[in-house]
Structure 1
């Protein structure tokens, strides 16, 4: 009887965990943030306890899982509206290599050593450090690589910009403007030249390789 109960509880918990992750979205299945990782560990622990502790009603043990799901979905929804909360929950990417130069200070800040850097460069099929224009350590711990463009070595004075959003969800990102050596006045002047006067109508804006603004309007 006990084996039958364990088998049935295992099947039920498996279905519940599967549904919970499906409801939390595809983001949970891919690269996990710190919060996602904590939620995953807690769900795993609750699942094990639910299967092993057959004396406690299954409904009572499933309830904490559903509460975690509601918390995660609520945080995800609120973070869509609030960049500050999104930054607090997910963290911010860190630029480890900028314009072909390694930022040792940022590496120390992130407790990230050269062995970690070289390992992740090899995993990205990067043979030579000199091929890298930008390397960004994402909040998930993954390293994103932007290689130098062809002809960059022949023209080292050519400026490359980190592909950061200058406008996000209708809000100017002043810290990103500072990263590329520009200010809000320059951005608004460039937008007016292109016929855009209301920043709040812009969903996403960034500077491409040709110093041209890429603009995407909200709900268009």
Structure 2
């Protein structure tokens, strides 16, 4: 009975990898800064790729198999990226330096399409007023901006991620 669902499995795998590549191409910055238009886009994309995954099979079992395949692929990808560095480097973004010792990296900011206003907003959220007071600002792999203040006394209060995304340390082993 698995053979009738092989088409759904293959379609789901193709859609998963397409979406992974699309997110890689369009940038990690988009992941943490969802606005109304972004949410609408996500909803429309999920609706459009649903048919691509299940094809003509709109049954409950077809939808559940597609969802199961996506969970399994995601689980396997996470295991592989942790176990094999090369695989992780291929699929995962790396943190990017935006400011180092008060000096902005205009090339990185341009490449990542981060505006001056977005960077200033992140600094204000970290309690920092001037670029010269930033020891290090990074665009993290989850799309958040982490900032470390030049002032060591402020370090504890300013070293948190922009959208407060907390990940357990187990994810980094």
TM-score tier, shorter chain, comes to 0.5 to 0.7
What is the aligned partner in structure 2 of residue 86 from structure 1? 88
What is the aligned partner in structure 2 of residue 69 from structure 1? 71
**Of 102, 105, 117, the match for 1:103:** 105
* Cα displacement (A) at 1:83: 1.9
The 3-state SS of whatever aligns with 1:121 is: helix
Query: How many residues are aligned here?
Result: 112
The 3-state SS of whatever aligns with 1:120 is: helix
Calculate the TM-score normalised by the size of structure 2: 0.53
Q: Please list every run of 5 or more consecutive structure 1 residues that lacks an aligned counterpart in the other structure.
A: 1-32, 50-54, 152-218
Q: Kindly indicate whether the alpha-carbon contact (under 8 Å) linking 2:103 and 2:131 is maintained by their aligned counterparts in 1.
A: no
* Cα displacement (A) at 1:112: 1.8
* Cα displacement (A) at 1:84: 2.4
The 3-state SS of whatever aligns with 1:88 is: helix
Greater relative contact order (CA < 8 Å, ≥ 6 in sequence): 2
Richer in strand (by share): 1
Counterparts of 2:98 and 2:118 in 1: how far apart (Å)?
11
Q: Please list every run of 5 or more consecutive structure 2 residues that lacks an aligned counterpart in the other structure.
A: 1-27, 33-41, 52-56, 154-172
**Of 136, 139, 150, the match for 1:137:** 139
Richer in helix (by share): 2
Calculate the TM-score normalised by the size of structure 1: 0.43
Distance change (3 Å), C-alpha of 1:99 and 1:80: same
The 3-state SS of whatever aligns with 1:80 is: helix
Alignment of 1:3-14 (within 5 A): none
What is the aligned partner in structure 2 of residue 179 from structure 1? none
What is the aligned partner in structure 2 of residue 181 from structure 1? none
What is the aligned partner in structure 2 of residue 126 from structure 1? 128
Q: Kindly indicate whether the alpha-carbon contact (under 8 Å) linking 2:136 and 2:149 is maintained by their aligned counterparts in 1.
A: yes
Alignment of 1:151-170 (within 5 A): none
The 3-state SS of whatever aligns with 1:126 is: coil
| Displacement over 3 Å in runs of 4+ | 40-46
Counterparts of 1:109 and 1:44 in 2: how far apart (Å)?
27
